[in-house]
Amino acid sequence: MRNKIGFLTLAAVVLAVSAGILATSGSSVSKERNVSSFYEIDVMDIDGNNVNLGKYKDHVVMFVNTASQCGYTPQYKGLQKIYDKYKDRGFVILGFPANNFGGQEPGSNKEIKEFCTLRYKVTFPMFAKISVKGEDQHQLYKYLTSKDASGEFAGDVTWNFNKFLASHDGGIINRFSSKETPESKEVTDAIEAALTAREEAMAK
């Protein structure tokens, strides 16, 4: 009887260890790898195509979390305006629809694309809807809001149309609240300075 109990105990231990190994293996597969730059991150564009953000190396990049039913939604117009003004100098805006705040981006990617294109004539790159905050936060926004990546500009996204500005070499160099309009002097001065630094670096 004692031997039988011992055998059952041993079997239970083996099963527990095996389960632990399998669980660890599964979590390691699904776990996001650590990145040192947003250039290493893959995202899905609004048409469902995979995009590696490394394609934006040497660009001054503005990341914006967008929404179609927000009081700040008209900022699409200003974003398009500064994109048109600076795109030939190496500036790009990347729009990431998100439904985190007030449920103000409920539509599908197709509906969002139609809205942006028809209402605001958006031509800057738009991406598939993601989460920018919370347990399901996308890796890109985990990176952008982290202290390691953004330093003094780190911290949770506070509402729709927060704006992160990255230099041509991938550093996060500024952040603007939803209230700061794309055409404001503070924003355009920061873009101008980043583009000037880019041009000086490219000329060397």
Among 148, 123, 136, 125, smallest CA distance to 62 is for 125
What dihedral angle (degrees, nearest 10) is formed by the CA atoms of 88, 95, 115, 187? -70
Q: Distance (Å, rounded) from C-alpha 191 to C-alpha 60?
A: 8
Question: How far, in Å, are 6, 91, 117, 157 from residue 58 at the CA level?
Answer: 65, 9, 27, 25
Contact 51, 42 (CB under 8 A): yes
Contact 176, 165 (CB under 8 A): yes
From the list 51, 70, 92, 193, the catalytic residue is 70
Q: Would you call 116 a catalytic residue per the annotation?
A: no
Q: Distance (Å, rounded) from C-alpha 18 to C-alpha 26?
A: 12
Q: Distance (Å, rounded) from C-alpha 125 to C-alpha 58?
A: 16
Q: Distance (Å, rounded) from C-alpha 113 to C-alpha 117?
A: 6
Would you name the residues annotated as active-site residues?
70
